[in-house]
Amino acid sequence: MTPAAFDFASPLTWLRCGIALVWLVFGGLFKALGALPRHRRIIARVVGEARAGPVLWLVATGEVSLGLWMLVGRQLVPCVALQSVALVAMNALELRFARDLLLAPRAMLVANVTLLAAAWYVALAGSS
């Protein structure tokens, strides 16, 4: 299967790039580069302080990888399925163990559902 084209006249391309950017910013900037230390504190609540650093790097690497995969545009249905599993798992863990560290839990859920809806739209429109 060939990667999705970068047709910048297509709204699907811009939407795909926007979704990729979310993953790249959250994984690369906020987690890997530590621009938002709150992310490390959230992870520490879930896995413990001793494991927080390595797990943060794993999460950051996973998020950056999802962003790059979305940009490449190959096999978007499995890519978005993995995004869905990752976001549901992360949101469930955050709400269970670190709710007090979240700025706006309801808004986070709405934003993540919106992100996934857009990602599924892109993946399914591109596979037809």
What's the DSSP call for residue 99? G
For residue 95, how many other CB atoms are within 10 A of its CB? 13
Task: Give the per-residue pLDDT at 128.
Answer: 57
Task: Give the per-residue pLDDT at 8.
Answer: 81
The stretches of the chain forming alpha helices (DSSP H) are 11-24, 38-47, 49-72, 76-97, 105-127
Task: Give the per-residue pLDDT at 5.
Answer: 72
Q: Which of 76, 69, 74 is nearest to 3 (CA)?
A: 74
What's the DSSP call for residue 1? -
pLDDT tens sequence for the chain (128 residues): 566 777 888 899 999 999 999 999 999 999 999 999 999 999 999 999 999 999 999 999 999 999 999 999 999 999 999 999 999 999 999 999 999 999 999 999 999 999 999 999 999 997 65
Q: Which amino acid is at 22?
A: V
Task: Give the per-residue pLDDT at 9.
Answer: 86
Task: Give the per-residue pLDDT at 7.
Answer: 84
